Amino acid sequence: MATLSARYAAALFTLASEQDLLNVFFEQVVGIRDALTNSDVANLIGNPAVPRTEKRDFLREIFSGKIHDDLFGLLSLMLNKSHEERIVPTLDAFVSMVNDHNGKANAQLVSASQLADTQIDMLKQLLSRKLNKQVDISHRVDPSLIGGFYIYVDGYLIDRTITKQLNDLRSTIEIVL
């Protein structure tokens, strides 16, 4: 059974498709999601002590005239049903549905050191061929990795870190001994 967030996202996707507003909703949903992930906004929306009407008024103030009425309606519905914690996951699921519909995928690449643009482009081309989608990669450096990189894309984790290789080697040695 699909999660509640997935059902909300699917309903929003269907509504946007029927109105031929998929790209408009996509851009607005990304903006809403980014605004709601701000820690101050997230704390206010997620605070059970703040009345729903105050939360709705706050969202109206932020998004008035900037988003489609149906998107505001979804936010209001989720507030009325006390599903505030599911708003951002719903918006994430909608973004994933639109990207999948458009043959796109977003990948998060984390490496131990800065990679050259040519290396990132090669990974992008390889992932695009494997997934049969246009892949956009966001890259960040995590010096806590001993070496290597990992990529998270379309629900898959490709882990090529030294830590993973050492753990695999340890497991193999334990099996042999």
pTM of the model: 0.72
**According to the model, what pLDDT value does residue 41 have?**
85
Mean pLDDT (whole number) for 89-116: 92
Confidence grade of residue 46 (pLDDT, cut at 50, 70, 90): confident
Q: Is the pLDDT of residue 1 over 60?
A: no
Q: Last residue of a domain, which of 100, 126, 155?
A: 100
Answer yes or no: do 32 and 114 share one domain.
Answer: no
In 3-state terms, what secondary structure has residue 156? strand
Answer yes or no: do 86 and 155 share one domain.
Answer: no
Answer yes or no: do 44 and 110 share one domain.
Answer: no
Per-residue model confidence as pLDDT tens digits over 55-87: 989 988 988 889 999 999 999 999 999 898 999
What are φ and ψ of residue 165, in 5° steps? -65, -40
Mean pLDDT (whole number) for 45-61: 89
Segments forming the whole domain that contains residue 134: 103-176
Answer yes or no: do 10 and 36 share one domain.
Answer: yes
Confidence grade of residue 114 (pLDDT, cut at 50, 70, 90): very high
Of 64 and 162, the structure prediction assigns the larger pLDDT to 162
Answer yes or no: do 163 and 88 share one domain.
Answer: no
Answer yes or no: do 54 and 132 share one domain.
Answer: no
Answer yes or no: do 78 and 131 share one domain.
Answer: no
From residue 94, how far is each of 28, 51, 76, 91, 161 by CA, in Å?
11, 27, 17, 5, 31
Q: Last residue of a domain, which of 74, 100, 126?
A: 100
Specify the CATH number for the domain of residue 144: 3.40.30
